[in-house]
Amino acid sequence: MVFSRLFFIYIFLPVCLGAYFLARGTKMKNNVLLLFSLAFYAWGEPVYVLLMLLSAVINYTAGRLIGRYGDSRKSRITAGLAVFTDIALLGVFKYSGFIVENINHIPSVELPVPDIRLPIGISFYTFQTISYVIDCLWETVTPQKSFRKFLLYVSLFPQLVAGPIVRYSTIEKEIDERTSSITDISYGLNRVVLGLAKKVIIADQLGIVADSLLGGIENATAAAAWTGAAVYAMQIYFDFSGYSDIAIGLGRVFGFHFDENFRHPFMCRDITEFWQRWHISLGTFFRDYLLYVPIFGKRRKYGGLFLVWLCTGIWHGASWNFVIWGLYYGLFIFIETLIGKKRMKKIPLVIRHIYSKAVIIAGFGIFYFEDLDKLGTFFTKLFSTGRLIGLQDRILLVNNVYLLILAVILTFPIIDGIRRISQRSAPVRTAAAVSLPAVSAALLLLTSILLVDQTSHPFLYFRF
């Protein structure tokens, strides 16, 4: 099931909310959420519910065993086996075809390429279970004794299929005891509408522009290549941050407080800061669980950095362009690490912004082109000379100028700024309180109208 569908907005969600708030006590509310979460996943992946249940059983059992063994060699072996199993399951379903295709490039080797459909959300819930097992081993969380509660953590539908990656420690206490105030419900529903608007009104429309500019990359000009990649970067941002808004908003309605996943990443002054603002749950996962992993028996600063960015690329998909994409960003972060924070700050701010945006835009070009030949053509076009932009591309941009201006404006913290001002000014706070419901209703109406005739536009991170 997809959030940006009228069935979810007007049938599934209202029924779920009605059942949830009619239920008495946290136990019954958890049962309602678990039932609807399993139904949500089974709607599109009925067979792969069993795979998610298997993952939950393995990691729940590992947590209980670690809790029983305490700080011992048995606990470390148990955690290692659980993490290995998680990665193996992810590898089989997500990367087996990619691995076999590359093996077949060896002369005289021709293995059948497995055609396995990727289970939606497997990258997200796998990383959640891995973090849970490691946190149990490190004794930063208490192993969950109830399988029902653990399964709720794994399958919680607001963030199940496209994140953010929610750690068990974030909602450990709220699984057992939480409340949903009127303020929480109002904030959550408004944020859900905002996320839907980001997806349907902005991201999907930007996607049309990006595909038009990049789809014929062989005939594109340098300006079209740069503009197309920039538009695609904004499409990814509004699509993925929109999903995160919906997840965080739904979580708040149900009494859960998920961490933020985006903090206006295009305001960054360098690439290191970009990744502190972009897909925060993935970046902090790799920082906490992979960066300091011993390599050949010793923690190696730059070796750990390479491993993190290699895995960041691989996590995004079974294709070489994603591997290149991860190492590409890793290279710039490596360079910035060598320069050092103090010397980076001495570089004029304008130059830092130009540098970071150029790197980011080119990086999303890598993200867009899975075909390496077209990727090579894209980079050739970035630095080509000649006419600035073709007539058709110029007409396309003129016809979408208001969309592009709106998208650029909304990459800045406009809403956060209004919220801060309202906290300091009673008149602004009153005006915001009165206008917010009307604005949300208008956005929901416009989103619904666009969804009536819209063809399928799933969230882009579903495939990761």
pLDDT of residue 31: 95
Predicted confidence band at 457 (pLDDT cuts at 50, 70, 90)? Answer: low
Checking if the pLDDT of 459 tops 80, the result is no
Task: Count the Cβ atoms, other than its own, within 10 Å of residue 147.
Answer: 13
Whether the CB-CB separation of 148 and 73 falls below 8 Å is answered with no
Rounded to 10 degrees, the C-alpha dihedral 350/352/356/362 comes to 70
Q: What is the pLDDT of residue 113?
A: 84
Q: Choose the final residue of a domain: 178, 200, 231.
A: 178
432 and 318 in a common domain: yes
Let me know whether 148 and 218 are in one domain.
no
Reply yes or no on whether the pLDDT at 191 is more than 80: yes
**Residue at 382 is within a domain:** yes
Mean pLDDT (whole number) for 223-239 = 94
442 within a domain of the structure (yes/no): yes
In the set 105, 264, 279, 316, the catalytic residue is 316
Give the pLDDT score at 295. Answer: 66
Assess whether pLDDT exceeds 60 at residue 464. Answer: no
Mean pLDDT of the chain: 89
Higher-pLDDT residue of 462 and 60 is 60
Q: Domain for residue 1, yes or no?
A: no
DSSP 3-state of 298: strand
In a domain, 348, yes or no: yes
* CB count in 10 Å sphere of residue 109: 9
Query: Rounded to whole angstroms, how far apart are CA atoms 219 and 238?
Result: 28
- Is position 279 annotated as part of the catalytic site? no
Poorest-confidence range of 17-31, 242-256, 391-405? 391-405
Same domain (yes/no): 344, 408: yes
Q: Which long-range contacts (C-beta less than 8 Å, at least 24 apart) are formed by 79-86?
A: 79/133, 79/134, 79/136, 79/137, 82/58, 82/129, 82/133, 83/130, 83/133, 83/134, 85/58, 86/55, 86/58, 86/59, 86/126, 86/129, 86/130, 86/133
Q: Tell me, what's the pLDDT at 458?
A: 63
Exposed, middle or buried by CB within 10 Å (0-12, 13-18, 19+), for 369? buried
Q: How many helices (H) and strands (E) does the chain have?
A: 22, 0
Nearest to 120 by CA among 163, 172, 152: 163
* CA proximity to 119, closest of 167, 61, 50: 50
293 and 309 belong to one structural domain = yes
Q: What is the reported pLDDT for 114?
A: 85
Res 161: pLDDT? 77
**If you average pLDDT over residues 256-262, what whole number do you get?**
93
Residue 238 shares a structural domain with residue 338: yes
**Same domain membership, residue 203 and residue 95:** no
What integer is the mean pLDDT of 162-169? 88
| pLDDT tens-digit series, residues 91-123 | 999 999 889 988 888 888 888 888 888 888 888
In total, how many domains does the chain have? 2
Q: Does 86 fall in a domain?
A: yes
Instruction: Give the pair of three-digit tokens for residue 39.
Output: 């139904």
Same domain, 205 and 154: no
Q: Are residues 152 and 37 in the same domain?
A: yes
- Residue 291: what pLDDT? 78
* Omega before 164 within 30 of 0, i.e. cis: yes
Residue position matching structure tokens 């592009």: 404
54 domain-assigned: yes
At 33 the pLDDT is 96
| pLDDT of 461 strictly over 80 | no
CA max distance for the chain: 76
Q: Which among 458, 381, 393 is positioned nearest to 225, based on CA atoms?
A: 381
What b-and-e string marks burial along 323-341, b requiring 16 or more CB atoms within 10 Å of the CB? bbbbbbbbebbbebeeeee
Last residue of a domain, one of 158, 178, 198: 178
Position 17 scores a pLDDT of 95
Instruction: Look up residue 142 and give its amino acid.
Output: T
Same domain for 188 and 160: no
360 and 412 assigned to the same domain: yes
pLDDT at 422: 67
**Residue 325 pLDDT exceeds 80:** yes
Name the H helices within 219-289: 222-253, 271-277, 280-289
Residue type for 394, please?
Answer: R
Alpha helices in 290-348 (DSSP H): 301-316, 320-339, 341-346
Q: Are 220 and 107 contained in the same domain?
A: no
What is the domain range of residue 145? 6-178
Average pLDDT (285-294) is 84
d(CA 330, CA 303): 11
Question: Encoding tokens for residue 348?
Answer: 């004029």
Phi, psi of 41 (to 5 degrees): -70, -40
Q: CA distances (Å), 381 to each of 13, 227, 359, 375, in order?
A: 46, 12, 15, 10
Pair 38, 94 in one domain = yes
- Mean pLDDT, range 219-238, rounded to an integer: 93
Q: Which of 109, 143, 178 is the last residue of a domain?
A: 178
